[in-house]
Structure 1
Amino acid sequence: MSNEVASFSPASLAAVLDQSVDCVKIIGLLGEVRYMNANGMCAMEIDDFSTVAGQQWADFWPEETQSVIRASYSEAELGKPVRFRAFCPTQKGTARWWDVTVSAVKNDLGEHAGYLAVSRDATENQTSRDALDIATSELRHRLKNTYTMIASLLMGFARGNPHHSEFAEQMTERLVGLSRAQVLFAETDTPCDLNDLVSALVEPFSNEHCGVEIERLPACTIDKGRADAIALVIGELTVNSSKHGAIKYGGSVKICGEADDRSLSIFWAEHSFAPVVEHVRDGGQGLALIGRIMRARSGTIDTAWRDDGLDVTLTFAL
């Protein structure tokens, strides 16, 4: 829809805006509600527009979101649409989440005259995401407990046997390292330091026969979505190496990365003392899975096989 609006008259806008399934509002220069389409009134459970006309739009929202609403006006006035998701109950108290876009509008003289605010009901999506986050947190908690339990069992079985004790201590250190990696994902939307993430993922697998070396990584933080993708891909690569490659048979694994304003790349270079026998195993789904994971996060993965290992490049657009 054009930002050139001839007037704020509901009659002149209703024919177009009432076709939208979203809650569409015209907000005045002082933040007051000037217009709301019929579907918006239905979504917000407003029976009579006169009960909200002229009121501050920010006041409709919970206190913690009101500052976000007010800040969106100044940003939108600069010509940059503002987008956010926030919770706001309807006028009748029904709990709902909204995806909101705020844009500046101009009158027929080209002068800044107010704001167009479009709110889409995101309750179902948010509820599903919350349920997934809860389930994921529970799985991580159980996984940490499993690491602890296995470490305790190993130490218990090895007690009194020096040879077994040395092995148990090494395995316990690796399990503790894997458990530490889970802590990096404790908060749903907390950015993660790339160096901390990769170190926590690979250090437990380094051994005297195969050093896992982090040569250089850019100093940057990454969002949870990309952190999850990196963790899953590097996790799959380390597990495969532990079963079929350098970590099992000896060799080296080197990890490095680079970043600029447009992209982040991470490189995995593995050299094994044992030759590569096959690239894909019957029933193996690991490489296909990590490819799907990367695509889901708007990333790419390139794999180049050699006789003694493989090179993998992960790339994310920034």
Structure 2
Amino acid sequence: MQSLNVNVSAEHAQDQLAVDILQDLSSSAFISILNASADCIKIIGTDGALEFMNVNGQCAMEIDDFSSVENQAWCTLWPRESQALIDHAVQRANLGEISRIEAYCPTAKGQPRWWEVTVSPIMDSLGRVSRILSVSRDITDQYKRQERLRENEAMLQDLSNSQAAMLETMSTAASVAERQPDRRLNNSFSMIAGLLGVQSGKAQSDETRAALHVASTRVDAIAKVHEQLALLETANEVNLAEYLPGLLGQLREVFSARTVQLSANVVPKTVTHETAVSLGMIITELFANIASRSLNQDSKIDLSFEAAEEGGVLTLLDNGASAASQPAARDASQVSGAMISTHVKQLGATFLQEPCQPKGMRTQIRF
């Protein structure tokens, strides 16, 4: 048998060792060793014609009789969309180069299969390419698992986005609706939060789990707005001095920020239920943004309200992590989340957020 030398890269040192051992063996011994491999091994001519396929390869490809494909162009065994990739790998092997590719190729009987394929040149004793070696590993199970994960992640992300949009719609509708008992609305929020929690448990990536957890927490927080309003048991008007401090305390529980020091200086002011909902939604989003800036045991949040004849000024001050990346004052449209901008518009208010020194943010809503 002709002496063989397969030019392989460093990570294929084991393959090189195997070929070195085979150099002095007879053709029958060589073929026996190839047939012992669990992978699909093929010997291909420099013209791309298939000369040999080991027994396990024929089984994997469901080829009952090798003579039915012998001397055929190897690329013709692949689907049309993969043939250019295979041709290119053969051309590279003829140049003495190695290719590693992943591609889809069904079996001879039509069963779907995905393969990891290494294509290497076989050199003769003079260093010339005499044949081409292809080793194909069936990665169908691995591919299907990854595909299921991708589909699952995409489904969860789409569902999370759709529920976030639904949540914003519900919040807007609730703020303009006539004041009614909030039990049904709270039940809806609880159902969404529970569903998001279940989805978070099923998520495979840390990013998706984190996004779903944030969404679930914010749903809980919005529910607290309506829960706090229901506790006041007022028909159409709400006293901010009774409403806002209690809401701030409930948000601290929702965002697991029990160590945060809260202070509220809210003068009595009666507003409509619609205005109270919008103010509550804005404070909820601001609290969520503050919580995202790494609250700790030294964190403080101060809420104050100064009444005017037809409205007032609400100020939220925190000493959270420095927002160095956002040094300039911002209006509602520049703050993350569309909910703040939506409710500022509903109030006909002005919104200003600016960094404090040495750290933290000051937010004012004038309505």
**Which deviates further from its counterpart, 142-151 or 54-63?**
142-151
Q: Tell me the SS of whatever aligns to 2:119.
A: strand
Report matched runs for 1:176-215 at 5 Å.
none
Q: In the alignment, which residue of structure 1 is the partner of 2:295?
A: 244
After superposition, the Cα gap between the structure-2 partners of 1:155 and 1:124, relative to the gap in structure 1 and judged at 3 Å, is: same
Q: Deviations over 1:232-289 (max 9, x none)?
A: xxxxxx896346169964442457xxxxxxxxxxxxxxx9848xxxxxxxxxxxxxxx
After superposition, the Cα gap between the structure-2 partners of 1:254 and 1:80, relative to the gap in structure 1 and judged at 3 Å, is: farther
Aligned length, in residue pairs: 183
Any conservation in 2 of the 1:241–1:248 contact (CA below 8 Å)? no
Any conservation in 1 of the 2:60–2:107 contact (CA below 8 Å)? yes
The Cα of 1:124 is off from its aligned counterpart by 0.9
Any conservation in 1 of the 2:121–2:131 contact (CA below 8 Å)? yes
The Cα of 1:40 is off from its aligned counterpart by 0.7
Q: Tell me the SS of whatever aligns to 1:90.
A: coil
After superposition, the Cα gap between the structure-2 partners of 1:156 and 1:22, relative to the gap in structure 1 and judged at 3 Å, is: same
Any runs of at least 4 consecutive aligned residues in structure 1 with deviations exceeding 4 A, and if so which? 3-7, 245-248, 271-274
Q: In the alignment, which residue of structure 1 is the partner of 2:167?
A: 150
Mind listing any 5+ residue stretches in structure 1 that lack a counterpart? 162-237, 256-270, 275-318
Cα distance in 2, alignment partners of residues 29 and 14 from structure 1: 19
TM-score of the aligned structures, taking structure 1 as reference length: 0.50
| Seq. identity, % | 34
Matched, 1:18 2:35: yes
Any conservation in 1 of the 2:124–2:130 contact (CA below 8 Å)? yes
The Cα of 1:36 is off from its aligned counterpart by 0.9
Which of 47, 50, 53 is matched with 2:70 structurally? 53
Matched, 1:35 2:105: no
Cα distance in 1, alignment partners of residues 49 and 94 from structure 2: 16
Any conservation in 1 of the 2:40–2:57 contact (CA below 8 Å)? yes
Q: Tell me the SS of whatever aligns to 1:86.
A: strand
Q: In the alignment, which residue of structure 2 is the partner of 1:182?
A: none
Q: In proportion to residue count, which structure has more helix?
A: 2
Q: In the alignment, which residue of structure 1 is the partner of 2:85?
A: 68
Q: Tell me the SS of whatever aligns to 1:35.
A: strand
TM-score of the aligned structures, taking structure 2 as reference length: 0.44
Q: In the alignment, which residue of structure 1 is the partner of 2:156?
A: 139
Q: In the alignment, which residue of structure 2 is the partner of 1:81?
A: 98
Any conservation in 1 of the 2:100–2:117 contact (CA below 8 Å)? yes
Q: Tell me the SS of whatever aligns to 2:32.
A: helix
Which of 141, 147, 162 is matched with 1:130 structurally? 147
CA RMSD in angstroms, aligned pairs only: 3.3
The one-letter amino acid of 1:158's match is S
Cα distance in 2, alignment partners of residues 23 and 10 from structure 1: 18
The one-letter amino acid of 2:85's match is V
Q: In proportion to residue count, which structure has more strand?
A: 1
The Cα of 1:76 is off from its aligned counterpart by 3.1
Which structure's CA Rg is the greater one? Answer: 2
Q: In the alignment, which residue of structure 2 is the partner of 1:113?
A: 130
After superposition, the Cα gap between the structure-2 partners of 1:115 and 1:254, relative to the gap in structure 1 and judged at 3 Å, is: farther
Q: Deviations over 1:144-202 (max 9, x none)?
A: 101101221222233499xxxxxxxxxxxxxxxxxxxxxxxxxxxxxxxxxxxxxxxxx
Cα distance in 2, alignment partners of residues 160 and 243 from structure 1: 35
Mind listing any 5+ residue stretches in structure 2 that lack a counterpart? 1-14, 179-288, 300-316, 326-356, 361-367
Cα distance in 1, alignment partners of residues 47 and 358 from structure 2: 67
The Cα of 1:12 is off from its aligned counterpart by 4.9
Any conservation in 1 of the 2:290–2:318 contact (CA below 8 Å)? no
